Amino acid sequence: MRGSPSITAEVVCWMRAMERRRPADTRVLDDPLAEHFLGPILSAALLGAKLTGDLGLAAERYFPGLSAYIVARHRFIDEALLAAGHVDQLLLLGAGYDTRAYRFAAQLRGARVFEVDHPATASRKAQLVRALGEVLPPVDVTRVEVDFETQALDERLLASGFARGRRTFVVWEGVSMYLTRRAIEGTLDLLHALTGPGSRVAMDSWYLLDSPDLRATAHRLEPQLLSFLGEPVTFGIHPEDVGGFLGRRGYRGVALADAAQLEARYVRDGRKIYPANYVVVAEHTHA
């Protein structure tokens, strides 16, 4: 619901927390802070899985292929952020319960961190951060609350101290599939105008499988199923087409990883990653 914190953001955080309960040699992602951002229900689900020894199955049972994708996507973007070298600003769009500002506090020293989200989710996260106290390293995060139905992102960012034209790493994770094409194009154009050359955007996308098998048929039904969470899937683009799409907005592709590549790179325990998702990193190329 628009007036409540995002359910999807908390479920994604729970998947990151669940991953850390796996054996170290099969763990795709290690986020020691994720569990601190869970509400009572998902905290209980995390504890229940731990007590019953169901750590390896719980997420996959309810989200087959998707939970592995979520954590692999997150790690891929982590590595892209670290590989980008020094940046002046880190901008997290639709930040949810992202913990990168705290996990990478040392690597981001000197960079300003901006977390953008809907007021309901941003407010809940701010309350949790205050309550956690010394659990988190002392990081100055600027939270930018934006109601996209009534407020302009660029105005809210600039009013919050975002510096135009600086080298910025933008994380736009788990968001584009819930927007319209026009909204995505508008956001990429805005980011291009706000950030400087060498800035990078890391984002993921979804596309419709077109094979005639049962899995592809089920995949085509999932946007309707996800609408029950209040956040229906509305946009997808094939990885073969995303380079041109980004190029028209002033970006060049730096890296792209589809499900097979993410599996080969990160998965060590036989899990499969849902085949219709991928992650792309693109660089601002011109003024």
Burial grade of 215 (CB within 10 A; 0-12, 13-18, 19 or more): middle
Q: Which CATH architecture has domain 64-284?
A: 3-Layer(aba) Sandwich (3.40)
The CA distance from 41 to 49, in Å, is 12
Q: What is the pLDDT of residue 57?
A: 56
Positions in the chain short of pLDDT 50: 1, 214, 216-221, 223-230
Distances in whole angstroms, Cα of residue 154 to Cα of each of 159, 171, 242: 8, 16, 24
Q: What is the pLDDT of residue 275?
A: 85
Q: Where are the beta strands (DSSP E) in the chain?
A: 89-93, 112-117, 141-145, 168-172, 200-206, 251-258, 277-284
Q: What is the pLDDT of residue 167?
A: 97
pTM of the predicted structure, to 2 decimals = 0.89
Q: What is the pLDDT of residue 230?
A: 45
Q: What is the pLDDT of residue 232?
A: 65
Q: What is the pLDDT of residue 234?
A: 76
> For the chain, how big is the Rg over CA atoms in Å?
18
Q: What is the pLDDT of residue 168?
A: 98
| Residue boundaries of the structural domains of the chain | 64-284
Q: Which residues pair with 93 in a beta bridge?
A: 116, 172
Which residues does 83 contact at the CB level (< 8 Å), separation at least 6? Answer: none
Sign of CA dihedral 56, 44, 73, 86: negative
